[in-house]
Structure 1
Amino acid sequence: MLIAAMVLFALSGWIGSSIPRNTSWTEPDPTTERTIAILVGTNGIHTEIAMPIITPEQDWRGIFPASDIIASSRDYTHVAVSWGERRFFLETPTWFDVNPVTVVRAMFGGEGVLHVAHYVRPAPSSDYRVMHLRPAEYRALAAAISAQIAPAETREVLPGYDTHDVFYTARGTYHLGNTCNQWTSDQLATAGAKIGVWSPFPGGVMKWIADFEPAR
């Protein structure tokens, strides 16, 4: 019964991620119009969205200040934002720390947190792919992500895994129907990008983003 449920979930995730939202969207060409380059990354289980810290459309320094991380003096160029279940995020600094009990609890509902990492010129790769957005699309993405942060009066700033990252309490409840990868998909959809309807797995997100092509 359990195996059948897992197979059904995996199948529904594959089908749901293959049904597109924003079907008429096409990625803009940065050689012919002004765009903002973001990166969508995956570690095989989890996805994140990396954005330039400062553009005319959005300055992230006031929302995700470097003063909230230990290595605050570096010249960071990007912030990468992802969302997930609080206990799983905070209690699982590495995959060797995964606790099955924590996983099961998260599956049935848990408080959301944002994970924010600061990077210096992150390099594109097959697991860290570039997506170009028009200014209005990027503004919509920035507004959607900003709206995820818990109100200032209740927000907690929690230590990250390393010297360049941090957690913030956030809106939303994590569960099987609203996973970290679905969150990434929803933010991109709000920006107007073509992305799957339901993407519980990272592959369901990444398959909509052009693969990395190294320079020749």
Structure 2
Amino acid sequence: MVADDVRRWLGRATLALIALPLLFALGAWIGSSIPRNADWQEPETGVTIMVGDNGVHTEIVMPILAQGHDWRALFPPGDIANPQRPYTHVGVSWGERTFFLETPTWADLEIGNALGAIAGGDALLHVAWYVRPAPSEDYRRLTLSAKDYRALAASIAADLAPGARRFGGYGGHDVFYPARGTYHLGRTCNQWTSDRLAGAGIRTGWWTPLAGGVMKWVPQG
């Protein structure tokens, strides 16, 4: 009887391990397919930003100076190791602190850090500086009206935790800053991206825990 109970328990545990990722993926697909700001139309002229995607993580790339908003006032170039280059854009993303700081490459990925991020943790902003970034399949352009861009910039700036120290980045062109909010499975780095876009009135998905759920709303070309 004990052996039968153990087998039944192991069978149920195995089914749960298989079912939970599938349910999460299905929920992510459904949630990301429900639009926010469904009536939004991309203007022909305005401020051009980019939404970047490395397959797992997304970022918002913006001109250093546009519509009176100068990112150098909030993120001083002197905070990065190589501030002398003629940077034109800044990319901002949000994520879990330990995972960000201890996973500079996917080769450094540890199961403990990944599970810790899923369970929840303090957040950081990752700020990367770019010189004339070119559009590509992974960096897609999006044109915003002046009003929408100002709203987007203000919401991103508001996520910086005041008076907090910075952390060194992965190279000479990036840096981390403590951010407001807590990372968890319901609010991932990609959800942050779509929340910032939606908050500025831009069409995007409702729940986008995965990068693909963000990028499906950003047209190529």
TM-score (structure 1 length as normaliser): 0.94
Equivalent residue for 2:42, pick from 17, 27, 43? 27
Report what 1:179 is aligned to: 188
| Deviation, structure 1 residue 17 | 0.3
Report what 1:159 is aligned to: 168
Kindly provide the amino acid, as one letter, of the partner of residue 204 in structure 1: G
Report what 1:199 is aligned to: 208
Report what 1:58 is aligned to: 69
The Cα offsets for residues 171-193 of structure 1, whole Å up to 9 and x where unpaired, read as 01000000000000000001110
Whole-angstrom CA distance in 2 between matches of 1:66 and 1:141: 21
| Deviation, structure 1 residue 23 | 1.1
Structure 2: any 5+ residue segments left out of the alignment?
1-15
Whole-angstrom CA distance in 2 between matches of 1:110 and 1:100: 15
Whole-angstrom CA distance in 2 between matches of 1:187 and 1:82: 10
Report what 2:83 is aligned to: 72
TM-score (structure 2 length as normaliser): 0.92
Whole-angstrom CA distance in 1 between matches of 2:165 and 2:182: 16
Cα distance change, pair 191–57 in 1 and its aligned pair in 2 (3 A)? farther
Structure 1 segments, 4+ long, off by >6 Å, are: none
- 1:10 correspondence with 2:25: yes
Whole-angstrom CA distance in 2 between matches of 1:209 and 1:201: 14
- 1:109 correspondence with 2:124: no
Conservation of the 8 A alpha-carbon contact between 2:67 and 2:150: no
What's the secondary structure of 1:26's corresponding residue?
A: coil
Structure 1: any 5+ residue segments left out of the alignment?
none
- 1:48 correspondence with 2:59: yes
The total of aligned residue pairs comes to: 206
What's the secondary structure of 1:184's corresponding residue?
A: helix
| Deviation, structure 1 residue 2 | 1.3
| Deviation, structure 1 residue 65 | 1.1
Identity %: 59
Q: What's the RMSD between the two structures over aligned residues?
A: 0.6
What's the secondary structure of 2:193's corresponding residue?
A: helix
Equivalent residue for 1:123, pick from 129, 134, 156? 134
Larger Rg belongs to: 2
What's the secondary structure of 1:7's corresponding residue?
A: helix
Kindly provide the amino acid, as one letter, of the partner of residue 48 in structure 1: E
Whole-angstrom CA distance in 2 between matches of 1:57 and 1:204: 31
| Deviation, structure 1 residue 57 | 3.2
What's the secondary structure of 1:51's corresponding residue?
A: strand
State how 1:73-92 maps to structure 2 within 5 Å.
73-92=84-103
Whole-angstrom CA distance in 2 between matches of 1:170 and 1:158: 12
Whole-angstrom CA distance in 1 between matches of 2:220 and 2:160: 30
Report what 2:219 is aligned to: 210
* Structure with greater helix share of residues: 2
Whole-angstrom CA distance in 2 between matches of 1:134 and 1:66: 27
